[in-house]
Structure formats: C-alpha cells, structure tokens
Amino acid sequence: MISDTIIERDFMKPGKSVALAGNAMIATSHPQATMAGLKVLEAGGNAVDAAIAAVALQGVIDPHMTGIGGDCFALYAKAGAAPVAINGSGRAPAAATLNHFASLGLDKIPDGSVHAVTIPGAVDAWCQLSERYGKIGLEAILQPAIDATRNSFVITPRVALDWARYADRLRPYPASVKQYLPGDKAPAIGDRLDNPALGETLKRIAKEGRTAFYEGEVAQDMVSMLQSFGGLHTLEDFASYKAFETKPISASYRGYDILECPPNGQGLAALVMARILDGFDLSSNELSDADRIHLFAEATKAAYRQRDLYIADPQHMQHSVEELLSDAFIKSLRNKIDMTKASAAEDFDVPVHRDTVYVTVVDADGSAISLINSIFFAFGSGVYAPKAGVLLQNRGSGFSLKPGHPNAIGPGKLPFHTIIPAMVLRDGKPVMSYGVMGGQYQALGHIHILSQIVDHGLDVQMASDQPRSFFTDGAISLEPTISPDVQAELEKRGHKTRWADEPLGGCQAIWIDRERGILWGASDHRKDGVALGY
C-alpha cells in the first residue's frame, strides 16, 4: 500500500474510515480492550504491555472467545531487531496415548469433552513476553482485566449474538451454567456480568507470575475439575508446561515478505497459498469477481490439503517447511489450477471454529506485536473450574486419532493449531501487523487482506470491509454481499456454493507508513471492535 495511490473512501456508502495516528496504535475486536491498551500506551507502556492488557481484558469480557484457559501465539518485532515468534500452545497430558482413546471406542476427540482440554499455554506466553520485552510489569498490565471481573462488564452486540448462539455448549457442566448463563439464559445486549473468582486468579498471576496459574490452588482446582469428568490431566502436566520462542517462517508475495509462526500452527498453509497466488495477476482488470473467488478457492484446496496431511507438532513433522514452500512443489500445486472449472471438492478433517481474539499494537518506538489468543470453539470445552474462575479450551479436538498421522495425539504433544498472527515486511522492515480471526478461515484471510491492499490499492480498513468467500466442507461459503450473478458463475464452473450464515472472520490490522510516519489502523465491521491511536 503506497500512500499516494490509495483508493479514496466513498462517504456516501455505509462503512467506517481507516484510523490514523502519528505515534502509536492498537486494534482489537472489542472497544473496551482497545481503550485499555491505548491507556497503557499513553501511560508509557510499550506494544507488548498494551497487547497483553487488551487480550487479558477480552478474556473477561469475551469469555466465549478467549481467556487464560486457552492458548496464545505472537510475532514480535522490536524496533531495529529481527522479529521473533512465541508459541504458547498447550500440550496433551502425559497419559494421553492413542491406545487410551482406542479403548474408549473413539475415532475422534469430542470437542465438548474433557479429553479435548490441553494444558493452557496463554499465561506462560504472556509472562514470558512481559518479562523479556515489556516495560511496566504484570500488575499494571492485568489491572484492567481485574477491574472488569469485579466491577461488572457490559455485554456488547456481537458478544451477545455469539453467547446466545453457543450457550448450549455450556449446559453439560453445571458450574459453567451457573457462571455464564445467569438465570439459565445467555446475557443480552447491555446486561452486566462479573467473575470474582477469575479476578482473584488474575491478581495472583499479576503478583506471582506463571506459578500462580500452573502450580498451587489454581492448578489444583483445574486438575480436580478435569479429573472429575475423566480427564487424564495431572498437576505435573501443568507445572512442567513452558511456552517457547522460535524463528518465524516466511514467503514472498509481490515483493513483500509474509511472516507466520512455524508449525504447529497453520501459518504454513497461508504461505503455501501466497506462493501459489503469486503466480497469478490478481490486479488484472481482465479478472472478474468470480475469477478471483475461484482462484482463492482452488488455492485454498491445494494449501489446506497439505496442511491437513503434514502440519503437526514441530517435533513430529514428516516434511520440512522448506520442502512444502519449495519452487518445485509450489509449481506442481499451481499447475493443477484450471480457471474454467473447479477441482474435486475435499472436506477438511479438522474441526471448524470461529472463536478467537486477535490484537495488534505498534508503539511510539516503532515496535510491533501481532498476538492471537483463543479457547478454540465457543466457550472452549465448556469445562469451568469455579474456584479458579477458568474456562478451559478444547484445542485437543484438533488432534488426529489415526495411528501414524503426524498430528496423532500423544503424551505431551502439541496439537495442530488454527490460530495464527501475521506480519508483513518490506526491505526487512515491518509494514503491517495483522491477523484474521475465524478458525480455518484464518490462513486464507491473511492472503485475502494482503491481496486487497497490494493488488487493489485499498487501505487496511477498506481491505477488511471487502466481501469474503471461503471453500470449506465441500463448498464455497459466500457472504451475502457477493452478487448472485457471481454465485451462478461459480456454479457453472462446478463449484458447490452456500450463503454464509455468519460473517467470515474478523480482521485487525495496522499498516506502518514509514515514508510519512503515519499508522493506518483497521478493525473489522464484523465484530464490535475499533482501532485507535494517538
């Protein structure tokens, strides 16, 4: 996106303007989280401090989406330093073996069961980020979240919609119903809720760090609750957990370098897709809307097939990142795309979910963080530890139970992950920090947003506002802002299509305009959020 070639917004049409700032900026999917992060920045905190403050608050006010019972991935680019990746994904219990699940007669791990709970990784990831790269310390960072647990928070429109839609996921667990369905129903827009138990746990983490969560009374409550439903989890599983730092992986698109976290996340699929589509001129006026959707669908099929076959715990990958991004392999995938007809539909063999929060921050020093936090499905596993105030994720449902599969569950193993933060570099410097919530859609979402900016000259907010499509479960899901004529053309080419019953994903992005010293921010209209800066 070059500032003097940006397409101007039509102010006669519904929408919102791109956010602009000259010093620092934060973008989240919830207005209160954005405000909390912005206050941290204005008070002298840096990008890491603001991102953790925002996402911790969302764990209170967006409990169906994220929380300390979930996982976290981040890319962090300190000004003048090489970007790093942080993997805060949780491991399977030490007793989780294929034989155990075979003895239960399972061919997949139920997403609403205790067996889907892996050890939550978010807290350790936050603690490591704060200790290594933050400025103001966890007590200040977590204070907005602590305040929200006891002063009550207000339910916003998109939060209310999702809460009501997925409330039944809580009903098998009485403690969960008591906390999250007051009066046996989902809270409505404008209702207030609190969670004092979660507040006490956050206060302990603020003072004591990771041990307050992974050891002692909080860990004991989580383990006791999990074991009461037949879980294999032990106190040792929690105490031994550690997030870890690694090097990002990357691929080129139109002269930009896209950075992703390496496996066990699906960022590799985004890079495969970027490399495939880099061989097509998506800016060409000769391409119709149907052509572009067709190309995205075909690239999605190709990239996601490789994802489902190969992405797993990095210690168990059977093919390297370099092999899957090699020129020869990408060319073989690209050459299979026929512009006139759809390839054979392939259903994905991993769970679909839409429940994640993504935060991006650029601070006054020019440091940038791209951070994503999730409990996987809506309300995660549904299992709630009431004394600790922790709602536990169900990331283990992403494991395979097929012997020999690289993503087969095993003791202490990391599962395949859908949540992926991203960054874009130009000439070795970050120019965009962004992410697209939405489960499996995320990998395609990264490429769709970047294409709208690089190929079509849109600013980050306009790029986020564009209609979306996604090939999944054997058909292309189309947002209803796409023309029926486009749908008809896609069906002529052999695609099955459906109209999406929910918005596809949710984007937050910050573009760094280095030439003019300006930050351009976006927060998706499909969520409640906002981008703000100063």
Tokens of 145: 């979240």
Determine the Cα–Cα distance for residues 214 and 222; give it in Å rounded to an integer: 10
Instruction: Name 243's Cβ contacts closer than 8 Å, sequence gap at least 6.
Output: 72, 86, 87, 88, 89, 121, 124, 125, 128
Residue with tokens 């032990």: 234
The answer to whether 262 and 314 have CB atoms below 8 angstroms apart is yes
Determine the Cα–Cα distance for residues 490 and 341; give it in Å rounded to an integer: 9
To 10 degrees, the CA torsion angle through 450, 456, 462, 466? -80
DSSP state of 493: T
Tokens of 121: 């990784």
**149 in catalytic set:** no
Query: Order of strands, edge to edge, in the sheet holding 84-88?
Result: 244-246, 84-88, 71-77, 368-376, 355-362, 25-28, 530-533
**Length of the chain measured in residues:** 534
Other CB atoms within 10 Å distance of the CB of residue 401: 16
Instruction: Name 253's Cβ contacts closer than 8 Å, sequence gap at least 6.
Output: 274, 275, 277, 278, 447, 450, 454
Out of 34, 149, 300, 356, the active site residue is 356
Q: What is the H or E stretch that residue 438 is in? A: none
Helix 31-42 with 47-61: angle, nearest 10 deg: 150
Determine the Cα–Cα distance for residues 490 and 497; give it in Å rounded to an integer: 8
Radius of gyration, CA atoms only, the chain: 22
Tokens of 397: 């449902």
Residue 396's closest CA among 89, 166, 168?
89
Determine the Cα–Cα distance for residues 29 and 55; give it in Å rounded to an integer: 10
Determine the Cα–Cα distance for residues 41 and 510; give it in Å rounded to an integer: 15
Residue with tokens 């403050």: 53
Of the chain, the end-to-end C-alpha distance in Å amounts to 21
Q: How far is CA 54 from CA 44, 245, 357, 454, 511, in A?
A: 15, 21, 10, 29, 19
Give bridge partners of residue 253 from the DSSP assignment: 256
> Catalytic positions, please?
356
